[in-house]
């Protein structure tokens, strides 16, 4: 009789252990579903018809973009896609320069193969900015770029499609740094 009781107790402990393991696995799966698949670093919210707000927590900025664009975000960049093709690129560079003009002077000295035209200095949401058209003298590639300086970061918004220069102006004007 005693052996029967020991066997029943062992079977009960084994069953209890299995249930605890299954319960733990279920809890783990429920709390970790989609991690690594759905980025939690950005948000897109419709703010009015035709425009949506994009918030990048990784690069710490907000912009308003036309609904026809989709967003791809990496660790160091954001691409705005139109019909599946990259239309705009946004990158953030850290800098020790005290101003955007000092940053651009250093950057221009290093490039040496770029011709700059149509440069305009302005302020976007209290941040120093420069918009300009750069042409690579070697390849002939023409780009419109916005350089925005915020908290020792140089944000660069760019496109090489002349048809999208007006959209870039609109997107850049909506830029907000979110420390």
CB 165 within 8 A of CB 154: no
| Residues 26 and 72 placed together within one structural domain of the fold | no
| Residues 67 and 20 placed together within one structural domain of the fold | no
Edge-to-edge strand list for the sheet holding 127-136: 69-73, 77-82, 85-94, 153-159, 142-150, 127-136, 114-124
| Residues 14 and 87 placed together within one structural domain of the fold | no
| Residues 97 and 146 placed together within one structural domain of the fold | yes
- The CA–CA distances, whole Å, from 90 to 34, 56, 132 equal 26, 11, 15
| Residues 156 and 122 placed together within one structural domain of the fold | yes
How many structural domains is the chain composed of? 2
- In tens, the pLDDT along 92-115 reads 999 999 999 999 999 988 887 688
Domain limits for position 57? 42-177
Residue 172 has pLDDT above 80, yes or no: yes
- In tens, the pLDDT along 136-170 reads 888 889 999 999 999 999 999 999 999 999 999 99
Tally Cβ neighbours within 10 Å of residue 68. 13
Alpha-carbon torsion angle 46, 48, 50, 55, nearest 10: -40
Confidence of residue 25 (pLDDT cuts 50, 70, 90): confident
| Residues 33 and 48 placed together within one structural domain of the fold | no
pTM as predicted: 0.72
| Residues 96 and 144 placed together within one structural domain of the fold | yes
Paired tokens of 87: 């239309």
- The CA–CA distances, whole Å, from 33 to 20, 39, 58, 75, 127 equal 20, 12, 21, 21, 39
Task: Report the alpha-carbon distance of residue 75 to residue 91 in Å, rounded.
Answer: 10
| Residues 83 and 165 placed together within one structural domain of the fold | yes
Please tell me whether residue 163 adopts helix, strand or coil conformation. helix
Share of the chain above pLDDT 90, in %: 58
| Residues 60 and 86 placed together within one structural domain of the fold | yes
């Amino acid at each position: 009789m005693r052996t029967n009781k020991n066997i029943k107790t062992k079977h009960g402990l084994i069953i209890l252990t299995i249930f605890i393991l299954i319960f733990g696995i279920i809890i783990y799966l429920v709390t970790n579903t989609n991690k690594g698949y759905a980025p939690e670093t950005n948000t897109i919210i419709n703010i009015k018809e035709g425009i949506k707000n994009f918030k990048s927590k990784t690069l710490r900025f907000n912009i308003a973009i036309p609904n026809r664009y989709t967003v791809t975000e990496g660790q160091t960049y954001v691409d705005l896609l139109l019909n599946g093709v990259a239309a705009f690129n946004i990158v953030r560079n850290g800098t020790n320069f005290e101003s955007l003009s000092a940053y651009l002077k250093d950057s221009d000295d290093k490039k040496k193969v770029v011709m700059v035209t149509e440069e305009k200095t302005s302020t976007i949401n209290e941040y120093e900015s420069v918009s300009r058209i750069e042409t690579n003298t070697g390849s002939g590639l023409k780009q419109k770029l916005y350089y925005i300086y915020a908290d020792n970061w140089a944000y660069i918004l760019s496109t090489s499609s002349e048809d999208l220069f007006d959209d870039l102006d609109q997107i850049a004007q909506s830029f907000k740094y979110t420390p």
